[in-house]
Chain A
Amino acid sequence: MSLDVIMDIVSWIAILAGSAFMLIGAIGTLRFPDFWARVHAVSVTDSAGMLLLTLGMCIQGGFTLVTAKLVIIGVFLFITGPTATHAVANAALVSGFLPKGADKFCSEKKKLSPEVKKTKAKKRAPLKGKL
């Protein structure tokens, strides 16, 4: 087998694995029961799938300008994806939206994070279940 064939096989394994991750993430977003499970499904698989897809395309591109651009895109998405997930999850938690069954592990809501404590002290309107 020549090097080109090996590179093709490696890159296609990466691309197909990345596509599978993306598909699993999409199914999880639609099928999982509540907000936290959905965020978990989509954020983790999205990062992994994006990295694998970019890697596969980099191998296809070889040592060219396209590969350099793909690496920059990969780094950018690797930073912004988890940040967006953090922003969404943080907003939900601060507004008092707890995961299912979280009451079993903490006797009071305010133990979860200082933000919840701070907002609870100011008698916010309950938003639970509306997000």
Chain B
Amino acid sequence: MGAAALMTMSDDAKAATEWAEHFQGNYRLMTPEEKAEARTRLERRYSAEYGKKVTVDGTEAQPGVLMGYALNVRKCIGCRRCVKACVEENNQSRGKNPGERIEWIQVLRMERGEFATDKMNHGYPEGLGIQVGGNAYTPAGQVLEGQYRYEPEAVPEKDATYMPIACMQCEKPPCVKVCPVRTTYREADGPVVIDYNWCIGCRMCMSACPYWARRINLTNPVLPKEEMNPVTHYLGNRPRMRGVVEKCHWCLQRTRKGRYPACVEVCPVGARKFGNLLDPESEVSLILARKNVFRLKAELNTFPKFFYFYD
């Protein structure tokens, strides 16, 4: 009886808050009062929906902070613990069907075999003198869909190297430029975020992203109540809805509170480093100063704040 009453109450709360959500404005342009109101509304809806106390944080960017990320490609063993930790921390959809399964981090597995000796000497003209070109017919890093979700017996595999990628939090993000409603934007402390309630689902940002960092919620996210992470941020890991785009935001719910992103915390080999680019003594700044560092697809002038390095 009590449970039934609670159920109906929560349904009412859900309906009322969803109705109000339809009319709220763009989060960035709201007054502090409106922001607080929007968050309380969401807290009420999420708490009813997931049957536990859910908090929606709104901590703003701190002055003097510019978040930066560095990843040691030499150290990564391809265990994909970061992928799993990210999904659990950030309330991604985790259903059985392909369209219900969202992972923000991809660990690209590259076979060393691409550069094997038997593939090397194929550039010399053959037959009619047509140049065929080395190992050009098996371009490195090109795979069939789903092959990035490799499930090896043990890692690291002998004949593979790994290259984890996620949102690069570009300084000149192409996704922000193309958004027709400015629902995605760069926060003052660096990360590019999305107001999930303002997104119209046009997917221009997904076309514009050179790193395939963005995912569309093709259906209502599959997020079991017991697995839902109740500590959320409005621009971060709060549960999304059908038809909107989502991506990595460097765990705003954690990093704005002085914690590391989930992927950094879980990495067993310490390949992932995170810190303040404006602080010359931070780990990330020291890596930029002392290591061999590169950015992915630097030729596109997106200026990622996600750096790769090797010892």
Partners in one complex: no
Footprint of B on A, CB under 8 Å? Answer: none
Footprint of A on B, CB under 8 Å? Answer: none
